[in-house]
Amino acid sequence: MDQRERVGFIGLGIMGRGMARNILKAGFPLRVWNRTASRMDELAAEGAGPASSPGDLAFHSDIIITCVSDTPDVEQVLLGEGGVIHGARPGSLVIDMSTISPRATQRIAAHLAERHIHMLDAPVSGGSEGAARGTLSIMVGGDVTQFERALPVFQAMGTTITHLGPIGAGQTTKLVNQILVVGHALAMSEALLFAQAGGVDLRKALEAVSGGAAGSWMLSNRGPQILARDWRPGFTIDLQQKDLRLVLQEADRLGVPLPGTALIHQLYRTLQARGLGHEGNHALIKALENLAGIEIGVWDEGG
């Protein structure tokens, strides 16, 4: 890919801000658009060009990236009034880095193909930390030639970049990722609650198990946050629930039983009912604390 290709980025939320900034740092000419316009100001001050609409952004871009919340949001910015499809020129490449339905991804790609616009689905994992540091895992579906064209842009945002197959394969793999993420979150929550009830020093217990066979990204990155009662999100409960809804819908279509994932979905629902949907997905432990009548707390030194 010629690095002079212009990149447009739509969606400057908790993930998109860091991703767009890393594209800019890599030297790509960048144009940005966000529904809440004030979110464009920071990147505009760093050299990005603000767009007036998704269609305007697409008209001035060769590669258009979307990173928004849910399937209807992607459909709106790509296909809706003032959307990318109305501004993009034939030969342009759309890369959707949101997490949405694999079936919807295939439908959107078909609409864009009618205008000779290419599409890749490229959802990501790694949390807000990975977005900021440029260390995301990027799961890509679509034509391999377009994947190779986009690779320098992906390399600005991530370190594990995998082409998984035809359009929709990236989204399916992201749902695989989310099954594992929430499973790790539940295991971590149960383990820390058990440690608390058993009278173990939680800091020492976390240190003891993190480097062994029980270790995981979730445990190393979110375990310390739980001990500090720090519920700031790398990924919110509300967004996690959206992804689990997609997982369970697709599992229903495929006829695959996912009893553990369904249970976690219901546990998160209890937290949403308490108004905690804005907290990080590691706050899953609060649902178990509520069941047990125990709250995780770190001992004082020498306690």
Q: Known catalytic residue: 174?
A: yes
Cβ–Cβ < 8 Å for 239, 277? no
DSSP 8-state assignment for residue 167: T
Phi then psi for residue 280, to 5 deg, are: -65, 155
- Which is catalytic among the residues 25, 174, 204, 242? 174
In SS3 terms, 59-127 reads as HCCCEEEECCCCHHHHHHHHHCCCCHHHCCCCCCEEEECCCCCHHHHHHHHHHHHHCCCEEEECCEECH
Between CA 299 and CA 235 the distance in angstroms is 27
CB atoms closer than 10 angstroms to residue 167: 23
Q: Which tokens in the block code for residue 67?
A: 């990173």
Contacts 24+ apart (CB under 8 A), 20-29: 20/48, 20/65, 21/46, 21/132, 22/131, 22/134, 22/156, 22/157, 23/65, 23/153, 23/156, 23/157, 24/48, 25/156, 26/152, 26/153, 26/155, 26/156, 27/3, 28/3, 28/153, 28/156, 29/4
Residues annotated catalytic, as ranges? 174
